[in-house]
Structure 1
């Protein structure tokens, strides 16, 4: 495509942005309705949270559970309803991203930023999987937009709107606390902007503090379990293993290349590094955008060399980096154009994949990359057969194993039963240990699904079960060599309470 043709394309993207956003929304809703892919473990886990609304949970603030709960209350407990908020939030994210880029660099940069984001595989995932990321992304960039209006355009009411957006981001994920910190650094670094500390900054901060209060109160009532979980993500346990560290670094950086599109990652990283070296020479607008994203991106990338870092941690920090990339690209070169073309082709292929697999009769074959997204429904059907044959009328349903075993069975068993989880370590490693056990149902029959045989149950758990009978074994559809063991107990005599709320993964008296 010629430069003139590319510029005309960008102009068309901006002029037709509303029909484009509506078309993308329709495409994504259609994909949700017809893809046939099961929920991943995190989605069913958050769905189980949504059945017990609260101000906070074991590892995260409540927003993801609230949104899923509102959607499933309206449309029923289906995978489509669980994921619908991700699509709606993703559309809001695209709107605010375009508006933010336009406010800083004009319509051309806004259109280019929109295309850059649409050409990233991460944008597909964030508009399909309903995890904590979609609300964080949407509210993070909304806050950046309103801060732009407040700081640079002088709109006083925008300070409050920005604070509300950051508060919603904080209710989505703890990482949102970095936003007011970035704003404070920006205002401190600009002599002309320090006057905002006399009132505007605190007006912005008030909704954030208000949102933090119920989270803090809940944690005070639950042994600060969310903070303990967050702390466990930092530092290294056990002896240093150089090869393991290199593997973690390799996997993390590969994840960034894969989710961002290699070209987008390189361009954003280069922009972040330029900001590190030229911060003093940059104008306030570029400083602001750099502090709202690329600065934290560099910190996370550096952290990855010292400890294991989750691949999604840096994602919200790329957004303002891409705005900087678009604003600094007066005439996109052929590599940028090629990167956009390849990225958009990857995105379209992803959406078309279920239909392509069906047309080629490759569904559930070894060549089907979506096969692992269908395992839990199959597993639940097999386990439900044992439940029906066991003859007990709604026995206590207990799992021994990963938290996803409990949450996926709760979602995919036909009656969406309440599932309890026994944690053999005695520690609190999930929300299931924070919630009360089935104490009101002691003395009733129990139906157990475990990833270990009864001979390996610890004494506390074995002593809690009377008349334990093996009903059968069920192979994991994703890993046939792995088995789940299905048991029936004539009586659940006791429910061993967690020994501690302080330590994750092991118990202390």
Structure 2
């Protein structure tokens, strides 16, 4: 007669969990190594406008910048000073950040416990191949390091909740990590209400839990100290970042003209919800819903940990849901909330995957894997795949081609501008300067031009909103040493340029659709009128 299997000892279970956590570490390192090799050897994408802009910021290290904190520029500046200014070096911090997010999600899942040793590896796979995390680990925007800071802060908070030892140093680490996250993206502030509600909820669930006062107070102080660079820069420049953020919402006091009356398109809200559920985190959203339905049946400390991670997600979702009633919400704005929900989704997976029959848990996991198999090659090799025979017949071909234009052809244009610049210098005997009609265009020319020159942005002079280029001393179009010189004007037609900049004459180049040459620069329209 077969005897029932004896339950594993606590030591055996802990050893198994440690082995699976070790697999998470090896998996994260493997993803990192493959990502770096890909960036160096076969990355088909040129820098996007935002990436080039942040690279240009990194050449002017400052306390902060007009639209963002200084974190992104500091990271790129460190990487390019170590490895040079190649595209892979600009994007290297994104690859590091992606693997840190994988590690943090795996560790949080292991910390939740619940006797499911494979759960951390499932969480690591989700963190590696969820489309929004996979894509952001490839491009050096603010999102990849911001997601890493969000994940690490959540992991530290979970450790505070689930440890019986002194947590003062953990509170210090939490405060600094939150501050670093704000230096990267102001959305990090939305983690704070989730932390507060989550800790309060945990204390109610576990009456014996005492978090103390000195730890949280020290965390707040250190977070504020870490965020000081932003306040210092804004104080020196009249708080333009506040105006920029208000401008995004169309609110009074913003850097854009506020809407005269409120207008709401229901598609904004429907699209915001659908994109998050179906594109940003497909499959994960289903697993989270299933897991949260079982929270009340889970023993502590897993239940309080799950609630803490869940509460950290809701403020960012809630705010951008409300924002969708005022404007169209970009897909990446609330995406950070999914990071703390990945461990919640993973905790319920192992036993459910082994259960007989086909159930919603298996459907959610298979959806994650299916999307990963489809999305990963498209994200990695999109430009190559778009050149395959017959692809032009696909219904979404035009939309993809339009998207790929944002990460292609900039090097070709910059080399063309360099040739025009040299020709105009020989013709006039003067050194032409370069002006882009948009900050992204200006930054891309600066990056791909062989000499990495200073390139000016004419956006605000042309009536658009300001950018960091309006606050750098060397990119001011009011510089006296520019007067009398010719300029290469990129991004719009002469009839638009004359509304913001004054030249003796402007000539469009017949062989180039939106490149003109201005001769005899006299200043911006505003400064010229004042004279």
- TM-score relative to the length of structure 2: 0.80
* Partner of residue 54, structure 2: 46
Using the TM superposition, give the Cα deviation of residue 52 of structure 1 relative to its aligned residue in structure 2, in angstroms.
0.4
State the distance in 2 between where 1:64 and 1:497 align: 33
Matches within 5 A, 1:221-370: 221-234=236-249, 237-241=259-263, 245-257=265-277, 259-268=279-288, 283-329=303-349, 330-332=351-353, 333-350=361-378, 353=381, 357=385, 360=388, 369=401
State the distance in 1 between where 2:444 and 2:430 align: 18
Contact 2:55–2:76 (CA<8 Å) still a contact in 1?
yes
Matches within 5 A, 1:108-257: 108-153=118-163, 154-156=165-167, 157-189=169-201, 190-191=203-204, 192=207, 195-196=210-211, 198-234=213-249, 237-241=259-263, 245-257=265-277
- TM-score relative to the length of structure 1: 0.83
- Report the CA distance shift for 1:198/1:21 in structure 2 as closer, same or farther (over 3 A): closer
**SS at 2:327's partner residue?**
coil
Q: Check if 1:466 corresponds to 2:504.
A: yes
- Report the CA distance shift for 1:334/1:179 in structure 2 as closer, same or farther (over 3 A): closer
* Partner of residue 26, structure 2: 19
Contact 1:89–1:138 (CA<8 Å) still a contact in 2?
yes
Residue deviations 1:66-106, cap 9 Å, x none? 11111112222221111111001111111111111111135
* Partner of residue 408, structure 1: 444
* Partner of residue 397, structure 1: 433
- Report the CA distance shift for 1:331/1:429 in structure 2 as closer, same or farther (over 3 A): same
**Higher mean C-alpha deviation, range 211-220 or range 375-384:** 375-384
Contact 1:380–1:409 (CA<8 Å) still a contact in 2?
yes
* Partner of residue 95, structure 1: 103
State the distance in 1 between where 2:455 and 2:375 align: 37
**SS at 1:420's partner residue?**
strand
**SS at 2:489's partner residue?**
strand
- Report the CA distance shift for 1:268/1:223 in structure 2 as closer, same or farther (over 3 A): farther
Q: CA RMSD in A?
A: 3.4
**SS at 1:309's partner residue?**
coil
State the distance in 2 between where 1:371 and 1:141 align: 29
**Higher mean C-alpha deviation, range 453-462 or range 171-180:** 453-462
- Report the CA distance shift for 1:246/1:214 in structure 2 as closer, same or farther (over 3 A): same
**Higher mean C-alpha deviation, range 48-57 or range 422-431:** 422-431
Q: Check if 1:494 corresponds to 2:494.
A: no
Using the TM superposition, give the Cα deviation of residue 44 of structure 1 relative to its aligned residue in structure 2, in angstroms.
0.6
**SS at 2:157's partner residue?**
helix
- Report the CA distance shift for 1:473/1:250 in structure 2 as closer, same or farther (over 3 A): farther
* Partner of residue 55, structure 1: 63
Using the TM superposition, give the Cα deviation of residue 56 of structure 1 relative to its aligned residue in structure 2, in angstroms.
0.8
**Higher mean C-alpha deviation, range 322-331 or range 247-256:** 247-256
Contact 1:377–1:412 (CA<8 Å) still a contact in 2?
yes
**Higher mean C-alpha deviation, range 119-128 or range 257-266:** 257-266
**Pick from 48, 63, 73: which aligns with 1:65?**
73
* Partner of residue 417, structure 1: 453
Q: Which has the larger radius of gyration?
A: 2
Contact 2:119–2:347 (CA<8 Å) still a contact in 1?
yes
- Report the CA distance shift for 1:431/1:265 in structure 2 as closer, same or farther (over 3 A): same
Using the TM superposition, give the Cα deviation of residue 177 of structure 1 relative to its aligned residue in structure 2, in angstroms.
1.6
Residue deviations 1:407-453, cap 9 Å, x none? 11111111111011222355652111122315142334132324332
**Higher mean C-alpha deviation, range 185-194 or range 433-442:** 185-194
State the distance in 2 between where 1:397 and 1:272 align: 59
Residue deviations 1:347-380, cap 9 Å, x none? 4423663696399579999788575221212222
Contact 2:280–2:331 (CA<8 Å) still a contact in 1?
no
- Report the CA distance shift for 1:287/1:241 in structure 2 as closer, same or farther (over 3 A): same
Using the TM superposition, give the Cα deviation of residue 283 of structure 1 relative to its aligned residue in structure 2, in angstroms.
4.0
- Report the CA distance shift for 1:170/1:486 in structure 2 as closer, same or farther (over 3 A): same
**Pick from 495, 500, 512: which aligns with 1:455?**
495
Matches within 5 A, 1:2-17: 14-17=21-24
